[in-house]
A and B are shown apart, each in its own frame.
Chain A
């Protein structure tokens, strides 16, 4: 049923090869290479504060690449009629619509449809937006007729990052992360559990910043046979309007996210210099829970999995089985701790003990 769409995507992918690359960033464990028409590339360059979201990385040759090519309106006008196709969540056409056409989230490994198409395709029914990922060539095609919302700028290409991380054997985790001397602490917890407060305190005391909301976990061992890696993603912080300002004040530019009722701060200047451009070793995981202990206490892997996995699966639809398996690996690869609200004055000292 998707042959016409696949053929059209194949043709666009071939055409995109002849167009010049525009903007490159390191996002997580790979470089994201954006391309499109000169007009689109110019718009991407002006998509403030996109250049603050992640590492500009035009010359990184040590990391795998994923291409994201923007299709223009004239090209999209030739899109085959797809309104008759079954769809899953996010307008998923391949891989996720089940035999009954129900909008059931499935995992790629458990769905034979996934083997019939090289493309993972999400296409809005009204043809207003599309993301298609060709995993073998690591190229994605996209278009959107709507303006990016603040959170989509702050966590740019989040869906593609999720797909690419799964394809690379990694997983994006709904978590924050900080590091000290290359020793990384993953900080998990549901929304408003105190992740950002803890990260800000660490930032103010000179710790390395990896992420406030999305961390890439790499269970494959690349630099050391005994540890997994944590990769930074987005150099942003989400703060409630009543939160104290980011200090120093010149160290962030902000956008108001009306949905989350939070300010998204894009780190700049001195604070931005604390953003990790290289992975760190994952040495411990801290799970923040309401009414938890005032200082970190050990947590078992099973309790850790229960606290981390459903929340992460909820945040990153599709490939749920892979996410669950890899979060499970995460809970076994480094010691787990749990805590509630910790006293600010002793917070970083307690965290140093956790990663010691």
Chain B
């Protein structure tokens, strides 16, 4: 499973890419900042996207050029079935872990 390991930040990127219809660097960045209110670096987003694409979780296509981007084309990312199954694996793992926590403990800290 080493090659398909997903870090926390990568997981968020992958999820955001799955949420957005037209996912490209800036859109993902804005979405994450919006949802998490944490500061994200654009170059960190880019390098994660490239890494995820290389691992096969994401695929990309070239988009249209707009004057806003100085005439450069966007690169849209979309999640692959492999990416979906990886996310599901993680979700299952977490749900399993959640369900194994004793209900009393949760109540105690989260009344």
A is bound by B: no
